[in-house]
């Protein structure tokens, strides 16, 4: 499935993998996010952190009323305020989609699939 953007010059189709890479890149920049998680944990393994090539397995993209709706599945570091991480991720994803694709982002849903205890650095 591709995301279709309508402009005055015609239509642009962007693959969902491309959009997933943009969203995954935004998620990897947010403090507190350890990595992306799979939306299907039974198949892919519990608390498995996805590589950059596999971001599309942890992101669901669909269009609603001409806007993009994005579901992002993440793993957060232990001791990090989850609500703040989710808020920052939503803002960053919306900003990236609007600036890079030129299309308004509708809803961004964040699903925390796990918490990882980070090693102490001393």
CA neighbor of 37 nearest in space, from 26, 47, 27, 52:
47
Per-residue pLDDT tens over the stretch 38-90: 776 555 555 566 566 666 677 888 887 778 899 999 989 999 999 999 999 99
Flag whether 36 is in a domain: yes
Provide the mean pLDDT of the chain. 82
Q: How far apart are CA 113 and CA 39, in angstroms?
A: 8
| CATH number, domain containing residue 70 | 3.30.70.1350
In degrees and rounded to multiples of 5, residue 51 shows phi and psi of: -80, 170
Alpha helix ranges (H) inside the chain: 16-28, 41-44, 82-100
Flag whether 97 is in a domain: yes
Q: At what angle do helices 16-28 and 82-100 cross, to 10 degrees?
A: 130
Flag whether 9 is in a domain: no
Q: pTM, whole model, 2 decimals?
A: 0.82
Query: 25: domain range?
Result: 18-120
- Total number of domains constituting the chain: 1
Q: What are the C-alpha distances in Å from 121 to residues 77, 118?
A: 14, 9
Model confidence at 122, in pLDDT bands (50, 70, 90)?
Answer: very low
């Amino acid at each position: 499935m591709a995301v279709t953007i309508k402009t005055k010059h015609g239509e642009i189709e962007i693959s969902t993998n491309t959009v997933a890479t943009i969203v995954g890149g935004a998620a990897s920049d947010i403090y507190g996010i350890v990595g992306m998680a799979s939306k299907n944990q039974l198949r892919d393994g519990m608390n498995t952190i996805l590589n950059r090539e596999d971001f599309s397995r942890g992101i669901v993209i669909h269009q609603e009323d001409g806007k993009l709706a994005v579901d992002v599945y993440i793993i957060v570091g232990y001791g990090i305020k989850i609500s703040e991480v989710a808020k920052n991720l939503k803002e960053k994803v919306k900003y990236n989609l609007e600036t890079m694709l030129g299309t308004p982002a509708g809803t961004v849903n964040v699903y925390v699939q796990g918490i990882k205890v980070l090693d102490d650095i001393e």
